[in-house]
Amino acid sequence: MSTPPLVTVIGGGMAGCEAAWQLAKRSVHVRLYEMRPVKSTPVHKTDALAEMVCSNSLRSDGLDNAVGVLHEEMRRLDSLFLSSADHNRVPAGKALAVDRHRFAREITERLEALDEVEIVRQELTEIPAGPCIIATGPLTSETLSRQIRELTGSEHLYFYDAISPIVLADTIDTEKTFAASRYDKGGADYINCPFTREEFERFYTALMGADTLELPDFERKLFFEGCLPIEEIGRRGAETLLYGPMKPVGLTDPRSGERPHAVAQLRQDDIAAEHYSLVGFQTRLKWGPQEEVLRLIPGLENAEFVRFGTVHRNTYINAPRVLSETLQTRRRGDLYFAGQIAGTEGYVESAAGGLLAGIYCGMALLDGGIRPVPRTTAIGSLAFYISHARAIDYQPTNITFGIIPALEEPVRKKQERREALAARALRDLDSWIETNGDKLGLHTGARRATG
């Protein structure tokens, strides 16, 4: 009997866990390295695999949004990440949000239960020989970063990312807030803190005057646009906040019957509804000034903050120079990169990268060749983008309809166009699964029914 192949997966985040799961399903043995708790990071709080350190939201779950299409594709590909998210979801309107602690615990327990997966709790400082998936995420250790830089022959790129504060639910003054979702869609799942004009102006003045963690000017330009700190948004003008994270559109205060001047929204962060996170309030304000500013939000004057917002550095490679569409490095075919270190931004996109890397690595080992998922799918478009974007000014990306190939027959109306793109993506993925599903351990009958 031949010895089953062994793949090294470095990193126990979203991408690494998903890659290990996909490989184990095909009876490929995996040695999964996670340096925590032996070596900690500036933002992780537990030793659980797939710990969420930023938002608990996986964004829209509807097929009229590109990330919702990606959710559904991952469900059809038997994603550990998506099934665990579905099991541990909390109310969030049309969005898919999770109890982050239960979510991480489920993923950890499910991987620990697999005979094919060996979890090694230590820092891996060298890239090993043999099949390997590097999924070390945005907080890759300095030692391994040097190894990666030597291997790729190019410098890492980086940007700064920020985390939103979390509030203890029973310390929110509910006399000043109201529960609602924008346009009453999806139930009253958000706590809304309404501002009068005067309250907003007071808040904005304090925000703009608060002390922040200092960064060189050139590094301030490296914040990811999709996760800008609230103070960076505010520097573009008060109106930017009112059209951004504090927009009151679609919300009516039931007590006054009027739309507030501005709104700060809080989203449930755990199943017990004990913690709520401030939506869009990621920040790099120092903790003392941050608390003073946050207490100017109506309803949070006496709130207890479970976690203040912080800032951390995210590291990623110049994927167009390093990777092929199959996530293999151009210099070494048995080495793959997946997740945020490859330049995908967001938990869902990171897990999607790990899913593909696991499938593709398994195909290469067991089937003698890789058959990429169609580019017309959301997951295929994401892999194509990171391997074909402009290398000279490469930036991390979320999944958007803009990176999915246009329809052969143009559709003018935006909503109908999105529906057609989603239908084509799922149809083409189903066809790919029909062709490859037996070898992947998939079958179309196991798919979740969708409208």
* CA–CA gap between residue 363 and residue 26 (Å, rounded): 9
> Tokens 């929110």 sit at which residue?
172
Edge-to-edge strand ranges of the sheet holding 117-120: 117-120, 29-33, 6-10, 132-134, 335-337
- Say whether pLDDT at 437 is over 90: no
- Return the SS3 of 75: helix
- Return the SS3 of 160: strand
Query: How many Cβ atoms are within 10 Å of 304's Cβ, its own excluded?
Result: 12
Confidence of residue 42 (pLDDT cuts 50, 70, 90): low
- Say whether pLDDT at 284 is over 90: no
* CA–CA gap between residue 257 and residue 255 (Å, rounded): 6
- Say whether pLDDT at 451 is over 50: no
Q: Give alpha helix (H) positions in 54-185.
A: 66-76, 80-87, 100-112, 142-152
- Say whether pLDDT at 450 is over 50: no
Predicted pLDDT of residue 396: 78
Mean pLDDT across the stretch 237-251? 95
Q: What top-level class would CATH report for the domain 166-309?
A: mainly beta
Q: Picking from 60-69, 258-267, 302-311, which range would have the lowest pLDDT averaged per residue? A: 302-311
Q: Picking from 11-20, 128-137, 215-224, 231-240, which range would have the lowest pLDDT averaged per residue? A: 215-224
Q: Picking from 103-112, 193-202, 256-265, 271-280, which range would have the lowest pLDDT averaged per residue? A: 271-280
**Of 56 and 377, the one with more pLDDT:** 377
**Of 270 and 337, the one with more pLDDT:** 337
Q: Give alpha helix (H) positions in 235-389.
A: 238-242, 287-294, 319-322, 347-366, 378-388
> Whole-number mean pLDDT of the chain?
89
* Paired residues of 178 in beta bridges: 192
- Say whether pLDDT at 155 is over 80: no
- Say whether pLDDT at 8 is over 90: yes
Predicted pLDDT of residue 37: 82
Confidence of residue 228 (pLDDT cuts 50, 70, 90): confident
> Tokens 């309809």 sit at which residue?
401
pTM for the model stands at 0.77
Mean pLDDT across the stretch 387-394? 85
Predicted pLDDT of residue 444: 45
Pairing between β-strand 132-134 and β-strand 262-268 as defined by DSSP bridges: unpaired
Q: Picking from 19-23, 148-152, 258-262, which range would have the lowest pLDDT averaged per residue? A: 148-152
* CA–CA gap between residue 318 and residue 242 (Å, rounded): 35
Q: Is-contact 337 344, C-beta < 8 A?
A: no
Structure tokens at 149: 């830089």
> Tokens 């996760």 sit at which residue?
227
Confidence of residue 224 (pLDDT cuts 50, 70, 90): low
Predicted pLDDT of residue 215: 57
Predicted pLDDT of residue 4: 64
Predicted pLDDT of residue 328: 97
Mean pLDDT across the stretch 113-141? 93
Pairing between β-strand 132-134 and β-strand 6-10 as defined by DSSP bridges: parallel
Homologous superfamily in CATH for domain 6-160+313-446: FAD/NAD(P)-binding domain (3.50.50.60)
Predicted pLDDT of residue 216: 47
Predicted pLDDT of residue 223: 54
Structure tokens at 108: 């950890």
Predicted pLDDT of residue 307: 85
What's the one-letter identity of residue 183? Y
- Percent of the chain past pLDDT 70, that is, above it, reads 92
Predicted pLDDT of residue 2: 57
409-430 residue pLDDT tens: 989 898 999 999 999 999 999 9
Domain residues of the chain, as ranges? 6-160+313-446, 166-309
